[in-house]
Amino acid sequence: MNKEKIRETVLNEIKKNNGMLFMRPSWVSRDFMPPGKRLGLTEKEYDVGERGFICERWLVSETQVDNRVKFKNEGLSYLKLDNGDILLTEAVDACREEILGKEYSKNHSCLGRLLKIYDFGCRIFYHLHQTDDDAAKVGMNSKEEAYHFLDKPLGPHPETFFGVHPYIVKENLQNGIFMEYLKNWEGESILKHSRAYLNVAGEGFHLPSGLLHAPGTALTLELQESSDVMAVFQAEIEGLDIGKDLLHHHIPEETWNSKKEESALDLVDWEANADPYFYENHHLAPLPIEETRQDGAVEEWIWYNTVKFSGTRITVEPGKEFFSKSNGVHGLFVWRGKGTVDGFEMEGQNVSLEESSDEALVTAAKAAEGCLIKNTGKENLVVFKFFGPDINVDNVPYLKKYK
């Protein structure tokens, strides 16, 4: 389908859907971690052969996965259409002003964020995401991110390791301690130099790039910059060997060849990792938005403390409704319950490999006009709204800074 035909089709969909575009589910496999199997698929559907297992779902996504085994357009969202296949990236490219808004599209060419659910059967390895400068060296974006822990079984290890013990950096011991682990590349005792915090359903953390972390097994809704960049520092998880190539996969080859493990340590923001108030400066608790509170419905900030991305959670009681207006283009994800959005039926946790009715993109014009969310079911309707960079600026809350 050429660009002209894509534009025509997308504009017709926007008109037909009152300013929204609905998505097909985008499933992501990983071959280096076991699946948690909490994403709603059947037992057989998780196993995808040499690609590993489906461990993630990416929502309203314009980000391609960077896996060892390549699979066409993995990670990218497709529009939900009666006929034909159109990627969300193609739709935005063909209808940038109509989707992003005239003013926003002057300085932003895409949505610029990614929401994913990750679902692993063990803790994720100790790793970091490169900063802007370091990611650019391998042609990628940085990956600042934020977590929200969902209300499903938390798994065997519901605690996340963050940063390093403060004394390590205070006494300038980091190179001596961590170089040994990276050179020997064995075991998982590197985690003893970090601190773990409990994964509490309904809460989360904000994590800028350059910070070491090993996420726990809670089913996690993660909002982040649009990227799949990382450097892995842990050689083994519960007997599962992690290839050392994941340490330097996103380090320029010439840099790795000349500096080896030292080039990985150069990626770490040591001062930020050793923050003695790490929890206080990164923990995200839901913050009710009083000005949008309605009878039987509440909206809360759950991703905040940055303008790179942001998001809220709307909870609507059975038989109640919520009128949602926003500053700009955003994604909608129905996590729990059943209802309508501007008359279109949506339902959480009812998915298959090919179909769902829980995921949509709300165009800038529709966001300004507003849409009516109604709970037509018998349990609370829980809906997440997620935004890209520079949409919520003056209104987004920030954590108190502890020093």
What is the reported pLDDT for 107? 97
Asked, colleague to colleague, whether 25-76+111-284 and 287-387 share their fold, the answer is: yes
Q: Please give the pLDDT value at position 88.
A: 98
Instruction: For 25-76+111-284, give the CATH class.
Output: mainly beta
Rg of the Cα atoms in the chain = 21
The torsion of the CA quartet 89, 92, 94, 99, rounded to 10 degrees, works out to 160
Q: What is the DSSP letter of 219?
A: -
Q: Residue 7, CB half-sphere, CA atoms under 13 Å: how many? A: 9
pLDDT at 66 (0 to 100): 83
Per-residue pLDDT tens for 78-121?
999 998 899 999 999 999 999 999 999 999 999 999 999 999 99
pTM of structure: 0.95
- Nearest residue to 29 via CA among 2, 5, 49: 49
Q: What is the pLDDT of residue 1?
A: 84
Q: Are 334 and 382 in contact (CB under 8 A)?
A: yes
119-139: b or e for each residue (b if 16 or more CB lie within 10 Å)? bbbbbbbbbbbbbeebbeeee
Q: In DSSP terms, which residues pair with 68 in a beta bridge?
A: none
Average pLDDT, the chain: 97
Counting as low any pLDDT under 50, the low residues of the chain are: none
Please state, in angstroms and rounded to a whole number, the distance separating the CA atoms of residues 131 and 111.
20
Q: What is the structure's pLDDT at 69?
A: 85
User: Of 13, 157, 167, 35, which is closest to residue 92 (Cα–Cα)?
Assistant: 13
> In whole angstroms, what is the distance from residue 193 CA to residue 267 CA?
17
pLDDT for position 272: 98
* Single-letter residue type at 376: T
Please report the pLDDT score of residue 68 as a whole number: 82
Q: Could you please state the CATH topology (level 3) that the domain comprising 287-387 is classified under.
A: Jelly Rolls (2.60.120)
Angle, CA 17 vertex, CA 11 and CA 19 arms, to 5°: 65
Helix, strand, coil percentages for the chain (3-state, nearest 5):
25, 30, 50
Q: Please state, in angstroms and rounded to a whole number, the distance separating the CA atoms of residues 159 and 266.
A: 27
Domain coordinates of the chain in residue numbers?
A: 25-76+111-284, 287-387
Looking at residue 235, what is its pLDDT? Answer: 97
Q: Name the one residue in this structure whose structure tokens are 């915090």.
A: 197
For 51, phi and psi rounded to 5 degrees?
Answer: -80, -10
The H-assigned helical ranges of 76-170 are 88-94, 96-100, 104-107, 132-136, 166-170
- Return all residues near 238 (Cβ < 8 A) that are at least 6 apart: 122, 123, 188
Q: Do the Cβ atoms of 235 and 145 come closer than 8 Å?
A: no
